[in-house]
Amino acid sequence: MNQQENSYRLLPSIDKLLQTKQLKLLIERVGQDIVKSESRAQLDLLRTAIAGNDESILQRLAEDNFLEALCDNIKEMIESRFTGSLLPVFNLTGTVLHTNLGRARLPHEAISAMQLVASEAVNLEYNLEVGTRGDRDSHIEETLCKITGAEAATVVNNNAAAVLLVLNTLAENKEVVISRGELVEIGGSFRIPDVMKSANCVLREIGTTNRTHLRDYESAVNNLTALFMKVHTSNYEIRGFVNSVLEPELSALAKKHKLPFVSDLGSGTLIDLTRFNLPHEITVQESIRMGADIVTFSGDKLLGGPQAGIIVGKAKLISQIKSNPLKRALRIDKITLAGLTEVINLYLDPSRLPKRLPLLQDLTRPIEDLQILATQLLPSLQRALLGRAVVEAKPCQSQIGSGALPLSLIPSMALEITPLAVKGQTDSELTKLSQAFRKLSKPVIGRIHDGKLIFDLRCLQNKKEFETQLSQLQLC
């Protein structure tokens, strides 16, 4: 008998595999079908390897612990599939509201509420008093109106959906007048001109990039005009010879022509941020007070809640928006609604917000705390990178992110990693280092700037967790 034939005979049968203690336990957890099909797949791979005379496989087959190793392999394959790919990471990028890293962390009040409604039937669209169909907005509308001063409110899946829904409801097949300076792109896939197209509206751009006047709006009005729109230029700012029309003037002109005035605030905050020593951002209340008929904003930007889009404004317009069939396609689910409602409720008592809202905790974290944290972490990080890089604690600047207050930076502290690579190889060394940190069990995401890998500590909550896994760092 040659070695190949012998190897085939060493392969266990599928039944023998499924009878092992390891796989029996696994079957209890994930079911027979999955374990059986993965076992088959692994046996097929082995047969192919034997047919190809793969030396290392032939050798492994002859080893005593082969059966155990094979079961381990099957278990690992299945578990990796069950773990999924959506993982917690350390956001040390210096961007607090990082869209690619899931934006705002939620307060525990919101998380508990989300957990509860996730596991139970709830009166999402059910009126408990009369026992008939209810309105899912009813759970949040009153509080939103109370806080913002608006007459009515509705919520959808995100702010992009909010803008789309508002435009499609109020301006389908009609013209939307907007300043050229506000035709923004937010994070790649959201561009105002494209959203207009998707909403079936005609974009009527007026003015110039740097200057738009009231007379530009006035002369654009014709019998196809549906509304005036103002978009918060969230992620950039033009300085110098600039002019834009202020909300009260635009609102007055809209009234004169009996047109709605819609304001997309993007980030939208419900509180004057200067009370927390943060830069001022126009609030939803201010926008309503200055005459906006409809205001749209995000749930997971400066508001610090879950992904959602909030629409507040005149009752008549909100009611039209709610009855658009698109609303059904864009509606918020019960879990998000529960979380968002809790976050909005926190705003009823603003003085306690910085303690309760993780986003504000991160944004208002005192620089002294960050300096201490940097000093404490420096030795262990330096030890982990010994011979490969120099680590220094340096002041840096965090940004809020998600287009909020793009030019306002918050003083912070960073650990800066400079590779000890030979000249000309710094870039590839930086790539390797940042890859190694991303491969940790809780990936660490920093940013590369100026030949350094920078870890901004502002959003580091668990120092111990960060430090403990440094020993697993695999530098190749």
Q: Which is nearer to ligand PLP, 148 or 157 (CB)?
A: 157
Q: Which listed residue (225, 251, 298, 341) binds ligand PLP by CB under 6 A?
A: 298
Nearer to ligand PLP, 91 or 159 (CB): 159
Q: Which of 208, 266, 299 is nearest to 405 (CA)?
A: 266
Q: Which of 74, 96, 144, 160 binds ligand PLP (CB under 6 A)?
A: 160
Contact set for ligand PLP, span 123-152 (CB under 6 A): none
- Segment near ligand PLP (CB under 6 A); pick from 14-22, 172-180, 262-270, 383-391: 262-270
d(CA 425, CA 355): 45
Q: Is 401 in the site for ligand PLP (CB under 6 A)?
A: no
Determine the residue type at 195. Answer: V
Helix (H, G, I), strand (E, B) or coil at 229: strand
The H or E element spanning position 454 is strand 452-456
Q: In the beta sheet, which residues pair with residue 90?
A: 444
Q: Which is nearer to ligand PLP, 188 or 366 (CB)?
A: 188
| Cα(262)–Cα(251) distance, integer angstroms | 9
From the CB of 301, what's the least distance to ligand PLP, in Å? Answer: 6
Size of interface with ligand PLP, in residues (CB under 6 A): 16
Tell me which residue of 151, 159, 207 sits closest to 181, measured CA to CA: 207
Q: Can residue 331 be called a binding residue for ligand PLP (CB under 6 A)?
A: no
Rule CB under 6 A: say whether 283 interacts with ligand PLP.
no
Q: Which of 98, 136, 232, 327 binds ligand PLP (CB under 6 A)?
A: 232
Which lies closer to ligand PLP via its Cβ, residue 344 or residue 430? 344
CB nearest ligand PLP: which residue?
Answer: 266
Q: Give the position of tokens 């890859």.
A: 435
CA distances from 150 to 141, 158, 448 (A): 10, 19, 44
Bridge pairing between strands 126-127 and 132-133:
antiparallel
The window from 157-165, 166-174, 239-247, 456-464 that contacts ligand PLP (CB under 6 A) reads 157-165
Q: Which DSSP letter does residue 100 get?
A: G
HEC profile of 271-333: CCHHHHCCCCCCEHHHHHHCCCCEEEEECCCCCCCCCCEEEEECHHHHHHHHCCHHHHHHECC
Residue 170 half-sphere exposure toward CB, CA atoms < 13 A: 27
Per DSSP bridges, beta strands 309-313 and 152-156 are antiparallel
Q: Is 158 in the site for ligand PLP (CB under 6 A)?
A: yes
- Residue 394 phi, psi (nearest 5): -135, 150
Helix axes 3-10, 55-62, angle to 10 degrees: 50
Of 57, 190, 249, 443, which lies in the binding site for ligand PLP, with binding defined by CB under 6 A? Answer: 190
Nearer to ligand PLP, 341 or 402 (CB): 402
305 scored as a contact of ligand PLP (CB under 6 A): no
Assess 264 for contact with ligand PLP (CB under 6 A). yes
Check binding of 433 to ligand PLP (CB under 6 A): no
Site string for ligand PLP, 202-231 (x = CB under 6 A): -----------------------------x
Q: How far is the CB of 197 from ligand PLP (least distance, A)?
A: 15
Comparison of 39 and 93: residue with beta carbon closer to ligand PLP? 93
Positions touching ligand PLP (CB under 6 A) are 158-160, 163, 186, 190, 231-232, 234, 264, 266-267, 298, 309, 402-403
